[in-house]
């Protein structure tokens, strides 16, 4: 009996020891991360003082002259730019379900400002070029490459409003040209923070607060933390910048990932490291987005067009955010938003101009992935909903002409006539318009990658591994401990627990009975006999 008990104890100890060994890992230093911290502990000093270069000692009459001066030293950089996604508005790639197809700002629609076609004069404010007034822009003219918008260090350069990508007339081109350097957050943020028509409108995790924030907002960009530039992660070789915006991109190529710096095993706990096989770093380390300023969650274009005394107007909510705007419709905003979660493998499809609408809900983009796909991980996303104009007869979304400087030019933001704006916009993209329009519900997914929180604020285990209202409640097709249950498995586990408890009770009972018998035997008087 004793040998059996000792054997059981030793077996249990062995099992527990194995589990502990399997889940533990040696404490180590992430050398890549430590090197990155060291690199950002000092402010980099430019290797070239552009203010002393002879080619820049002049008064520039046009921004194109600045570009020519840049190219006189950086002789091949313009070619790199002209092969980049920041320059071209269309790229050909393989898209699942379509085959080889072209995608990009030229032919992809979204459910924010809809599309760039027919609105180039305004949209070009976020293009790295000069003179984009219509669809005849010459993408092969190196003189129109805007070097300053990415490399200005004076913080004085900015694009003019509705000026086809040209700088504002107040910009001192000579001062800017002599102040260029590596791109900083303000260079990238001047476009990416304000896409969609305002601060934090589209992304939810990219906004002007990140120009100067603390670690609670973003551990990477925090002024009291790493204070990293965008290009620290979005590195570039020959101006091919790593990172993909999945509102227009379809391929899993040249992505910027957390593992680039943190490796695939960033934790001391191997159990957490094994999560990395199916769970993205962002899913745990970005518990909420839109931390400082709200982001737009719903946009109803069907409400646009209301006027007061014949003039457009705006309505604001309590925190001074626009709730209604005559030219755009009704908005719903949110702050400190918990992400939604999807399976994502890095590839996507999009609604392309001319696609036939199927059903009553149009997916503006589809992020591919599933539990059974080995390349898929759980990713946090922002889901934007709304409605937008479509052609009732042809069953296609409409690209309307929205912007013009003058009334009477068929632009909706000037004339408030959907039929005229639709006819002009569809003529621009070379597609028919029946004259009959309505509004259809749309949905779009935006991956959340920024606003990483300190590790102390990361998503707790119980927020996912819980039976009710967990963060991953909407994901199916796999077994999640703590959330899911299996009748056979649960019954077996329950019976196993009962068996263990029963074994303890039986064992204890035998011990009590055995002890009682020994006591009785000891207490019984010894029969010595008499003479």
pLDDT digit string, tens, across residues 495-529: 888 888 888 878 877 787 887 777 777 765 555 55
pLDDT at 193: 96
| Tokens matching residue 99 | 């085959």
Query: Which residues share a beta bridge with 391?
Result: 396, 437
8 A C-beta contact, residue 109 and residue 353? yes
pLDDT at 17: 61
Backbone angles phi, psi at 316, to 5 degrees: -120, 150
Cβ-Cβ contacts under 8 Å for 185 (sequence gap 6 or more): 210, 211, 221, 229, 230
pLDDT at 26: 44
Exposure of 477 by Cβ count < 10 A (0-12 exposed, 13-18 middle, 19+ buried)?
exposed
Q: How far apart are CA 305 and CA 326, in angstroms?
A: 5
8 A C-beta contact, residue 366 and residue 268? no
Instruction: Taking the CA atoms of 460, 462, 465 and 471 in sequence, report the sign of the dihedral they define.
Output: negative
**Count of beta carbons in the 10 Å neighbourhood of residue 479:** 10
8 A C-beta contact, residue 389 and residue 400? yes
Q: For the range 265-271, what are the long-range contacts, defined as Cβ-Cβ under 8 Å and sequence gap of 24 or more?
A: 265/25, 266/30, 266/33, 267/25, 268/25, 268/27, 268/28, 269/23, 269/24, 269/25, 270/22, 270/23, 270/24, 270/25, 271/23
DSSP characters over 475-524: --SS--TTT---HHHHHHHHHHHHHHHHHHHHHHHHHHHHHHHHHHHHHS
Q: Half-sphere exposure of residue 26, counting CA atoms within 13 Å on the CB side?
A: 3
Chain segment 184-231, per-residue pLDDT in tens: 999 999 999 999 989 999 999 999 999 999 999 999 999 888 899 999
Pairing of strands 365-367, 314-316: unpaired
Low-confidence residues of the chain, pLDDT below 70? 1-33, 36, 40-44, 523-531
Chain CA centroid to CA 284, Å: 14
Helix (H, G, I), strand (E, B) or coil at 471: coil
């Amino acid at each position: 009996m004793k040998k059996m008990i000792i054997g059981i104890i030793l077996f249990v100890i062995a099992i527990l020891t194995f589990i502990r060994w399997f889940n533990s890992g040696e404490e180590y230093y992430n050398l890549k991360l430590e090197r990155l911290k060291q690199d950002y502990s000092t402010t980099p000093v430019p290797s070239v003082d552009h203010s002393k270069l002879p080619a820049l000692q002049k008064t520039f009459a046009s921004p194109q002259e600045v570009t020519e001066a840049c190219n006189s030293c950086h002789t091949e950089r313009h070619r790199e730019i002209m092969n980049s996604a920041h320059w071209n508005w269309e790229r050909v790639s393989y898209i699942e379900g379509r085959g080889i197809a072209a995608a990009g700002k030229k032919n992809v629609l979204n459910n924010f400002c809809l599309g760039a076609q027919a609105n180039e004069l305004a949209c070009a404010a976020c293009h790295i070029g000069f003179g984009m007034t219509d669809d005849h822009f010459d993408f092969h003219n190196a003189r129109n490459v805007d070097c300053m918008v990415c490399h200005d260090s004076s913080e004085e350069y900015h694009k003019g409003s509705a000026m086809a990508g040209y700088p504002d007339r107040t910009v001192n081109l000579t001062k800017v040209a002599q102040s260029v350097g590596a791109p900083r957050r303000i260079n990238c943020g001047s476009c990416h923070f304000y896409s969609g028509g305002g601060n934090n409108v589209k992304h939810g995790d990219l906004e002007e607060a990140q120009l100067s924030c603390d670690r609670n907002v973003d551990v990477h960009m925090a002024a009291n933390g790493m204070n990293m530039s965008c290009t620290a992660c979005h590195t570039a070789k020959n101006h091919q910048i790593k990172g993909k915006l999945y509102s227009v991109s379809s391929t899993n190529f040249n992505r910027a990932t957390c593992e680039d710096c943190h490796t695939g095993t960033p934790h001391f706990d191997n159990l957490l490291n094994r999560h990395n096989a199916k769970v993205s770093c962002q899913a745990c380390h970005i518990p909420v987005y839109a931390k400082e300023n709200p982001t737009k969650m719903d946009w109803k274009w069907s409400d646009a067009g209301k006027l007061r005394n014949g003039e457009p107007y705006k309505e604001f909510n309590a925190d001074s955010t626009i709730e209604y705007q005559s030219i755009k419709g009704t908005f719903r905003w949110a702050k400190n938003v918990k992400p939604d979660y999807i399976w994502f493998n890095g590839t996507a499809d999009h609604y392309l101009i001319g696609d036939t609408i199927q059903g009553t809900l149009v997916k503006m983009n589809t992020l591919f992935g599933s539990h059974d796909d080995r390349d898929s991980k759980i990713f946090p996303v922002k889901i934007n909903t709304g409605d937008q104009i479509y052609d009732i007869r042809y069953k296609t979304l409409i690209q309307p002409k929205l912007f013009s400087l003058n009334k009477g030019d068929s632009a909706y933001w000037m004339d408030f006539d959907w039929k005229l704006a639709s006819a002009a916009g569809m003529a621009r993209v070379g597609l028919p318009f029946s004259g009959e329009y309505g509004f259809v519900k749309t949905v779009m997914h935006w991956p959340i990658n920024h606003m990483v929180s300190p590790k102390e604020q990361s998503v707790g285990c119980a927020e996912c591994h819980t039976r009710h209202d967990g963060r991953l409640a909407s994901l199916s097709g796999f077994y999640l401990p703590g959330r899911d249950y299996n009748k056979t498995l649960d019954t077996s586990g329950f019976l196993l627990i009962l068996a263990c408890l029963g074994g303890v009770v039986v064992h204890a009972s035998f011990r009590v009975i055995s002890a009682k018998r020994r006591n009785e035997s000891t207490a019984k008087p010894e029969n010595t006999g008499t003479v």
